[in-house]
Structure 1
Amino acid sequence: MLNQFSRTQLLLGKEAMDRLKGARVAVFGIGGVGGYVCEALVRSGVGAIDLIDDDKVCLTNLNRQIIATRKTIGKYKTDVMEERIQDINPDVSVVTHRCFFLPENADEFPFEEYDYIVDAVDTVTAKIALVMKAQEKNVPIISSMGAGNKLDASAFKVADIYKTSMCPLAKVMRRELKKRGVKKLKVVYSEEKPTRPIEDMSISCRSNCICPPGAEHKCTQRRDIPGSLAFVPSVAGLIIAGEVVQDIAFDRV
């Protein structure tokens, strides 16, 4: 019978579509990368998604985040993404966690119920904790490396963390994961050398903060505020979603 996933089924087959429908994927970080991950997962037929983020949509998100519009500024990203998911496929089961993932709240998430984890968070501390938790619970995970300060969307690659190069974030992750005895981690990273942002205080979040009222996580608290483009983090997110969908659909994990 014809349905919204008929074109997808032509490529993947019914058995794969059944696997996707029965899968629960947790996406940690619903920003420039994570938003596009969610978008593609839902449009590919994934049946259950957990959304984890504590940010609100900000004016500066409009340049790259799929959930950011003038109407959604000031709303929680998890709420906006949930509404968008339901508009695409109301049969999807959505669980929202309005918080940031941290080592201290790691036990609050039902990791044993996840079929796949997407790490699209910003901080090394959270990334490491998420990888360690996934390893502990034996849940497949894929991590996004740096997508900021990049211009070339074609430079993204899928690789094991220990086979990456150029990406400063991947370098730190390699070192920290090696210390903890982690043998492998699938990542999406860019081989492009990061561009140094132009120093212009007239458009800097440092001196002109416009985070929505009540925002817990302000840009001014970050050590570095990266530049970003519409066509770079989106591509990273779509590549990640492609890996997740194929891993689940073809039972590659």
Structure 2
Amino acid sequence: MDEWLSRTRLLFGDEPIKRLQNAHVLVVGVGGVGAYAAEMIVRAGIGALTIIDGDTVSESNLNRQLVALHSTLGKPKVEVLKERFLDINPDLKLTAQHRFIEEEDIPVLLEGGEIDFVIDAIDTLAPKVALIAYCLRHKIKIVSSMGAGGRKDPSAIRIADIADTYHCALAKAVRLRLRKEGISKGLKTVFSTEQADRNAVVVVEGERNKKSTVGTISYLPAIFGCYLAGHVIRKLTEV
């Protein structure tokens, strides 16, 4: 047994650790939220991980994103994380895909039953809803991040069914689109009960699938990511 997991084993025991080592988690979107979720999964001892994101590190990421350093500016986020995660656990079976996920990619990505849990940290509505709907229809375990921007209060973060979310514009938009797909509940989400600061939103032009930018603080996306990882780890280690 690996010594680096000794503290985790003291808390969980041998069998839960084995379950993690035999599991495969997919994280889609490794920005402010998803990268922290992925790292917590790696440090818990997950055996296989797939990370997907088409973005590169920019200077505006430095205030909150795990991947963002001056030495990593301009590099693909998944490649930065690949090097980092394999430095944590060289035995990790890691697949890093530098691309934005499209709706037509989802069946191919998830067919075969190799993925045990999906973490959705996508901030673009169409692929986010497509991924969620596919997972729910095919009974693939998934947990989804709602909006972390425009908020300051970490004590307002909750994990709940999509039907029970409130004060979150992203969650509302996801709910509406899922209803059109005939889905009204069954999706676990991480969201904040704090109302977003409307003054922290600015309109942007010329960016892929993005109409606005929302102000963020260093700790909120990270805590969202830890909530996502905590949910996945607990579920994967249950008997």
**Is this a same-fold pair by TM over 0.5?**
yes
Matches within 5 A, 1:128-167: 128-167=129-168
Residue 222 of structure 1 corresponds to: 210
- Larger CA deviation: 224-233 vs 167-176: 167-176
| Aligned equivalents of 1:46, 1:220: Cα separation in 2 | 32
Residue 174 of structure 2 corresponds to: 173
**Cα offset for 1:108?**
3.4
Instruction: Give yes or no for contact 1:206–1:220 (8 Å, CA) kept in 2.
Output: no
| Alignment pair present for 1:237 and 2:225 | yes
Q: What is the CA deviation profile of residues 185-243 of structure 1, one whole-angstrom value per residue up to 9, with x for unaligned ones?
A: 000000001012457xxxx8959xxxxxxxxxx64762111111111000000010000
| Aligned equivalents of 2:178, 2:212: Cα separation in 1 | 23
| Aligned equivalents of 2:78, 2:140: Cα separation in 1 | 22
Instruction: Give yes or no for contact 1:52–1:96 (8 Å, CA) kept in 2.
Output: yes
Specify every segment of 5 or more residues in structure 1 that has no aligned partner in the other structure, as ranges: 208-217
| Aligned equivalents of 1:31, 1:242: Cα separation in 2 | 18
SS at match of 1:5: helix
The number of residue pairs the alignment matches comes to: 237
Q: Partner letter of residue 37 of structure 2?
A: V
Instruction: Give yes or no for contact 2:124–2:209 (8 Å, CA) kept in 1.
Output: no
| Aligned equivalents of 2:172, 2:211: Cα separation in 1 | 18
| Aligned equivalents of 2:203, 2:130: Cα separation in 1 | 28
Matches within 5 A, 1:97-112: 97-111=97-111, 112=113
| Alignment pair present for 1:187 and 2:175 | no
Instruction: Give yes or no for contact 2:150–2:200 (8 Å, CA) kept in 1.
Output: no
User: 4+ residue stretches of structure 1 with deviation over 3 A?
Assistant: 204-207, 218-221
| Aligned equivalents of 2:161, 2:35: Cα separation in 1 | 23
Q: Partner letter of residue 7 of structure 1?
A: R
Structure with more strand by fraction: 2
SS at match of 2:152: coil
| Aligned equivalents of 1:71, 1:121: Cα separation in 2 | 25
Identity %: 39
| Aligned equivalents of 2:118, 2:124: Cα separation in 1 | 16
Residue 215 of structure 1 corresponds to: none
Q: What is the CA deviation profile of residues 40-86 of structure 1, one whole-angstrom value per residue up to 9, with x for unaligned ones?
A: 00110111100100000111101000111111111101101111100
Instruction: Give yes or no for contact 1:21–1:46 (8 Å, CA) kept in 2.
Output: yes
Specify every segment of 5 or more residues in structure 2 that has no aligned partner in the other structure, as ranges: none
**Cα offset for 1:2?**
6.3
Residue 36 of structure 1 corresponds to: 36
Matches within 5 A, 1:49-68: 49-68=49-68
| Aligned equivalents of 1:79, 1:118: Cα separation in 2 | 18
